[in-house]
A and B are shown apart, each in its own frame.
Chain A
Amino acid sequence: MTDVADLPVYDSDQIRTPLVSELRNFWVFRRLIRLLVARDLTSRYKRSVLGVWWTLLNPLLTAGVMYLVFGVAIGGRFGETDEPYVVYLLAGVLFMTFFGQGMLATASSIAGAKAILSKVYVPAEVFAFATGVSGLVNFGFSLFPLIIAQLLTGTGVPLTALLAPIPVLAMLALVIGAGMLIAAAAVFFFDVLDLTRVFVQLLQYLTPVFYPLSFIPDRFLGVYKLNPLFSYLDNFRNVIYRGEIGPAWQWWYMGGTAVLALVIGVWAFSKAWRSLAMQL
């Protein structure tokens, strides 16, 4: 046994600095985070017949139904873009699924880890972070059908696709930040998750996922673009298949809101932690 002097010490009087403590914990607990992500993925994939395809099934079916309804049934009115509607739709649905599902999973991760958190000391934010990251991995898998669609429709994969990690990581920051904010609230009121689900649905309609931007009347366009998700999605579409960079403000807006969401989420979580621990 080591000398007492070398032992790690827990002192309840040590002040927990919001943000700093959490960010340090993400590093200190990186091995655990990796393990939790792996656990999440194995329990999802390893023991099911369809494996990875399960995760893809939901967004692909959604995209399929939307394609039939909006692209074919309503006389292809939504398809009046210069780009193949399939690619436009898939990119939208997959990216927004990452947002919606990732945020909800992150938000419910704390309550889900209740059994562990009320018995063993593990910083709760570790679970939120791990859940966000496993959402990212799922999204990574879902890029395959998108790339295939791009190749089949002749859109191809432009060089700018190399920049795709930027909107994707910004989205991860947004997912984790917003998820932690909701997680903190969800421990006190369980219907917050239901409210979030409705909110996510609403956002799907306020973001050009299945309709082209040209559907929004010009006079509303300014307000419409205030929705941060517009910037995230448009940046993603621009680089992944349009071969464009797009307007600079969209990148600033995306980066700014991503950092802001992460800071607010982690900070609120940190503030709520004391009462959170009592509720678990």
Chain B
Amino acid sequence: MGVLEGLAFIGDAIVTYPLIEVRNVSLAYVMNRDRAGTFKEFTFQLLKRQVTAERFLAVDNVSFEVHRGETVALIGRNGAGKTTLMKVVARVLPPTSGRVIVRGRVAPMIALGAGFNHELNAIENIVLFGTLLGREPDEMRERAAEIGEWAELTEFMDVPIRSFSSGMLARLGFAVAADVDPDVMVVDEVLSVGDESFQQKSFERMQSLMKGGTAVLLVSHALDKVLQMADRVIWIDHGKVMADGDPEEVVDAYRDAVRRP
């Protein structure tokens, strides 16, 4: 049980365990070149002995840690494996090999609004999404008004969200996820939610969460934002860690690599 405890005394020093621990994690997708989408096709392919499966390593032996109050950004080209890695940390995908340990309440801010039901109104959705994120329905019912106010949607709270604009949905999603008061936040390209003033507001909210000790793992292509927010940057290419360290250095190295044809 040693690993599960947050604090341990080694001599006089207090050792704190990181909130996110990713150790030698690999994730392989099984890709079927002419993937049988239907049982019928599959049967035919089986009869013709055409079932071929290829493994595609989306994440290749990646290790890193994120400590309390630390913000780590993942950068890299499209298809480098960043989002897959986020999903592994968010517990959505089990790693093919290696080990992931995440301590605390996790708020995934990945494609916000995924948990929404378009027939239900905003209040019901706040309760539903909050419960999906692991909170109590009653607790969410009490918080609903405040969350709605924060998302600047007070006058639309009893409207079915099918009539909401995408900006309104994203605001609602961010407001609920941020309200969870998470220990670990997994953020995928949602720094650009809403208009300028709401972006500023959500940025401040994230900053205050970070100061409160939340560990943040974020993915972004907006390198300026990354430099502004991250304490550490990890550059990933073809599923492998290319560099891990000081934001300026890693971002510079990445920019160099991108410029080089």
Contacts and interface: CB of A to CB of B under 8 A. Distances in A.
Interface stretch (A39-47, A215-223, A241-249): A39-47
Contacts of B42: 188-189
Interface in A21-41: 31-32, 34-36, 39
Most chain A beta-carbon neighbours within 10 Å: one of B4, B6, B39, B105: B39
A188 to B, nearest CB: 8
B106 A121 contact: yes
Given A31-B136, A35-B131, A35-B137, A192 B92 contact: no
A9 B4 contact: yes
A277 B101 contact: no
B120 to A, nearest CB: 6
Contacts of A118: 87, 92, 114
A12 B4 contact: no
Contacts of A154: none
B164 interface: no
Contact of A189 (B39, B91, B98, B132): B39
B30 A190 contact: no
Given A10-B102, A116-B114, A189-B38, A277 B128 contact: no
Interface string A154-170: 00000000000000000
A138 to B, nearest CB: 17
Contact of A39 (B90, B91, B124): B124
Contacts of A47: 119, 160
Interface of A: 1, 3-13, 31-32, 34-36, 39, 42-43, 47, 115-122, 185, 188-192, 195, 273-275, 277-278
B111 interface: yes
The size bracket of the interface on B is 35 or more
Contacts of B117: 39, 43
Contacts of B7: 3-5
A206 to B, nearest CB: 22
B120 A9 contact: no
B99 interface: yes
19 contacts: A6-B6, A8-B103, A10-B101, A10-B103, A11-B100, A12-B101, A36-B128, A39-B120, A42-B119, A43-B117, A43-B119, A118-B87, A119-B92, A119-B108, A120-B132, A121-B108, A189-B38, A189-B42, A277-B94
Nearest to A117: B92
B109 to A, nearest CB: 9
B207 interface: no
Contact of B102 (A6, A9, A119): A9
Interface of A, secondary structure class, is: helix
B93 A191 contact: no
Contact of A5 (B5, B110, B114): B5
B207 to A, nearest CB: 16
Interface in B190-208: none
A192 B90 contact: no
Interface of B: 3-7, 16-17, 19, 29-30, 36-40, 42, 68, 87-88, 90-95, 98-106, 108, 110-111, 114-115, 117, 119-120, 124, 127-128, 131-133, 136-137, 160, 183, 212-213
A39 B137 CA distance: 12
A195 B39 contact: yes
Given A11-B4, A120-B115, A188-B42, 5 more contacts: A9-B4, A10-B102, A12-B94, A39-B120, A115-B114
B151 to A, nearest CB: 18
Contacts of A275: 30
Nearest to A185: B39
Contacts of A273: 94
Contact of B6 (A5, A11, A31, A117): A5
B35 to A, nearest CB: 9
Given A4-B7, A120-B115, A189-B38, A13 B99 contact: yes
Contact of A10 (B68, B100, B114, B160): B100
Contacts of A10: 91, 100-103, 106
Contacts of A39: 117, 120, 124, 128
Contacts of A274: 94
Q: Which 4 A-B pairs have the closest CB atoms?
A: A4-B6, A121-B91, A43-B119, A189-B39
Contacts of B93: 277-278
Given A5-B6, A10-B102, A275-B30, A122 B132 contact: yes
